[in-house]
Amino acid sequence: MTLLDNLREIVGDAHVLLDGDTSKYDHDWTGNYRATPIAVVRPASTEEVSAVVKACAATKTAIVPVSGNTSLAGGTYAKDAVMISMERLNQIREIRPDARIAIVGAGAVLSSIHDAVDAHNLVFPLTFGAKGSAMIGGALSTNAGGSNVVRYGSTRGLCLGLEVVMPDGQIMNLMSELHKDNSGYDLKDLMIGAEGTLGLITSAVLKLFPKPRAYATAMVAVPDFPDALTLLNDLQAATGGLVEAFEYMDALYVTDHLTMFPKARAPFENRHDINIMVEVGATAPSLADQLPDGTVPVVTLLENTLAQMMEDGRVVDAVVAQNEAQRREMWERREAAGEVMLIRKPMINNDICVPVDKVADFFQRIDARLATLDPDSLHTSVSHLGDGNIHFLMFPTKGDPQHIDLLTETVENVVLSLGGSFSAEHGIGLTKKPSMARRKDKVALAVMRAVKAAIDPDNIMNPGKVLPQTN
């Protein structure tokens, strides 16, 4: 029996896709990485995933997992590999409101999880622009961040337990519902962020939180980044840490957004360099319940804080959402970043992180470097400013590889000089392997390679991703 025959026997003919039927899967969201896999296999259970992995392991055939395929780093490139799609493992199997957990399959789409827990007046706070197609297995595999990290943390902090199919097909049950478990190595956190190079995540136990009873959302323009940090800290102090999102968009991004979406409105009447979307979520009735005069305390608190900062000159413009439609408009502007980023080519996408008080330093230093290296280039940024994660997009005047590498290394130099990281939330995949080779601590790389070799000695799990080759 051939491998394909074996796979058909496991999942059925209709769920082993070949040749032209794989076109939905053979490229990433950016279109930068294209390859026709040997086959796309769509198992419907953990047991079927296990059987598929065992069949591939027996022939030492490479395996590439795919969820919503919204990767920006080439993590699902599947040349000469069997691609295992998690889309049929999409069950939201259990929601336990009292324990505030949800048990879901890896193929559950993020927005579907949001809708399911909303019915219980709860939230799963991980959110980003691709939430309508991204699946939780992929978000876990890349340790996605999103817009609410400032309050809730990244995906790793939102997961209590996992089920993982290992490279030999064994099923590792880490489906803990515990908030504390100190029994040995934390294998759950090892698998989260490993991008499928150590095993395939098939199920997860997710942490849920009370749904805010009211939101206060605004677009704010400030003179400089230190003023933005002051705004964030003042709001955190005034609300007891209730800031959910603190998102930066520069002037060029706002212009490009209006170009791509001409029916959209500008955030302000006047153009500003530093535009911030801030959202505060209140659960306590004292902040969230509407008063007899129709006001909501958390909204009033945000308005008063902004008014005081305008008097002090630390805020130059502000618009507070007065209804849900205006709130959604502000979110849609920010969540369109994935589409807006493709408006120009060539483009270099940097997903970096610096300490929150070093953001201004980053922009000052990189502007000085680019003025020398490519003075006519453009750059634009959107940022999860509350946690220092900057999506810094450069549009160089020429796209030859040497120039691209020079500019990329320049960004890395500036970031590392500030104690930052060249990768914040998009994963490493293929795109950032050169950065890993240049910048990652050599001892850390050696330990990672040793872990990979011990768990996946035949190197069949998403081979060629994350870890650079040894010299």
Collapsing DSSP to helix, strand or coil, 108 comes out as: coil
Please compute the mean of the pLDDT values over residues 110-118 and round it to a whole number.
Answer: 98
End-to-end CA, the chain: 39
CB contact at 8 A, 240 and 150: no
**Neighbour-count burial of 317, counting CB atoms closer than 10 A to its CB (0-12 exposed, 13-18 middle, 19+ buried):** middle
pLDDT of residue 113: 98
CB 124 within 8 A of CB 113: yes
Residue 338: pLDDT band by 50, 70, 90 thresholds? confident
Domains assigned to the chain: 3-85 (3.30.43.10), 92-210 (3.30.465.10), 214-337 (3.30.70.2190), 344-439 (3.30.70.2740)
Give the C-alpha separation, 38 to 52, whole Å.
Answer: 14
Instruction: Average the pLDDT over 436-442 and give the result.
Output: 94
Quick check: 1 pLDDT over 90? no
* Residue 202 pLDDT > 70: yes
pLDDT per residue as tens digits for the range 145-173: 889 999 999 999 999 999 999 999 999 99
- Give the up-direction half-sphere exposure of residue 29: CA atoms within 13 A in the CB hemisphere: 18
Share of the chain above pLDDT 90, in %: 92
Residue 389 is predicted with a pLDDT of: 94
What is the average per-residue pLDDT within 263-270? 96
**Rounded to whole angstroms, how far apart are CA atoms 461 and 39?**
15
Q: For 162-280, where are the alpha helices, taking DSSP H only?
A: 187-191, 225-239, 251-260
Residue 471 has pLDDT above 70, yes or no: no
Residue 31 has pLDDT above 80, yes or no: no
For residue 453, with 0-12 CB atoms within 10 Å meaning exposed, 13-18 middle and 19 or more buried, which class applies?
A: exposed
Peptide bond into 346 cis (omega under 30): yes
Distance, in Å, from the CA atom of 469 to the CA atom of 141, rounded to the nearest integer, reads 21
Distance CA(105)–CA(126), nearest Å, equals 16
Residues 289-315: tens digit of each pLDDT:
999 999 999 999 999 999 999 999 999
Interatomic CA distance for residues 276 and 334, integer angstroms: 10
Q: What's the mean pLDDT in 123-152?
A: 94
Secondary structure, 3-state, 299-332: HHHHHHHHHHHHHHCCCCEEEECCCHHHHHHHHH
Confidence check: pLDDT of 34 > 80: yes
Q: Which residues contact 72 (CB under 8 A, 6 or more apart)?
A: 28, 29, 30, 338, 349, 351, 426, 427, 431
pLDDT of residue 29: 74
Inter-residue contact 466 to 428 (CB < 8 Å): yes
Determine the average pLDDT of the residues in 19-31.
86
CB neighbour burial string for 80-114, b if at least 16 within 10 angstroms, e if fewer: ebbbbbbbbbbebeebeeeebbbbbbbbbbbebbb
Give the H or E element holding residue 361.
Answer: helix 359-373
How far apart, in whole angstroms, are the C-alpha atoms of residue 233 and residue 254? Answer: 25
The pTM of this model reads 0.94
* Confidence (pLDDT) at 341: 86
For residue 129, name the pLDDT band (cuts at 50, 70, 90).
confident
Across the chain, what does the average pLDDT equal?
95
Q: Is the pLDDT of residue 470 over 80?
A: no
